[in-house]
């Protein structure tokens, strides 16, 4: 099974995909661990995300908007029960963090990482509206403005 590394940067990811060499992305993840909002390691694998404020949307809509950027190192694109469990742990932590900081959250779920989709589908509640290309937007329960 092919191991990949993923960051939320389409150009870097596309170049790595074409070359079938994810070492640059892997190195970038390793170097930026301190910048992540949360991460954990499981052997050679790293599961993490960072949350940044989307200043433009926040200013336009006068609400807090955030973007969630996932990163994974040395993961499999095919199903692996242990990997799905780790990604589930990552999403549970993300949901706790989201519940502590109210706002609207945008995230991209890379659909080639099967266990990310599977773990998302196992969440107890689906706080995100999924759009095409794996994009998702979190809508707080108290919001009716964008529904």
What's the pLDDT at 144? Answer: 41
| 111 found inside a domain | yes
Residue found by looking up tokens 């996932």 in the block: 70
Return the pLDDT at 91: 94
**Does 105 map to a domain?**
yes
> What's the confidence (pLDDT) of residue 106?
85
pLDDT at 20: 93
Q: Is residue 146 part of a domain?
A: no
- The whole-number pLDDT of residue 122 equals 86
Q: Which residues pair with 135 in a beta bridge?
A: 108
Q: Domains in the chain: how many in total? A: 1
In a domain, 134, yes or no: yes
The residues of the chain scoring below 70 in pLDDT are: 1, 125-147
Whether residue 12 lies inside any domain: the answer is: yes
Q: Tell me what pLDDT residue 133 has.
A: 53
The parent domain of residue 98 ranges over: 3-138
Is 34 a domain residue?
A: yes
According to DSSP, the residues that pair with 104 across neighbouring strands are 65
């Amino acid at each position: 099974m092919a191991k990949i590394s993923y960051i939320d940067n389409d150009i870097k990811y596309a170049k790595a995909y074409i070359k079938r060499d994810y070492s640059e992305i892997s190195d970038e993840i390793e170097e930026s661990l301190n910048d992540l909002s949360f991460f954990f390691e499981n052997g050679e694998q790293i599961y993490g995300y960072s949350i940044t404020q989307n200043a433009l949307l926040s200013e336009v809509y006068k609400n807090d908007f955030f973007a969630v950027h996932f990163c994974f190192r040395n993961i499999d694109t095919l199903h692996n029960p242990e990997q799905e469990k780790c990604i589930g742990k990552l999403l549970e932590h993300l949901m706790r963090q989201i519940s502590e900081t109210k706002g609207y959250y945008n995230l991209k779920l890379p659909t080639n990482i099967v266990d990310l989709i599977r773990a998302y589908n196992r969440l107890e509640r689906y706080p995100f509206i999924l759009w095409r290309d794996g994009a998702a937007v979190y809508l707080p329960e108290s919001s009716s403005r964008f529904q």
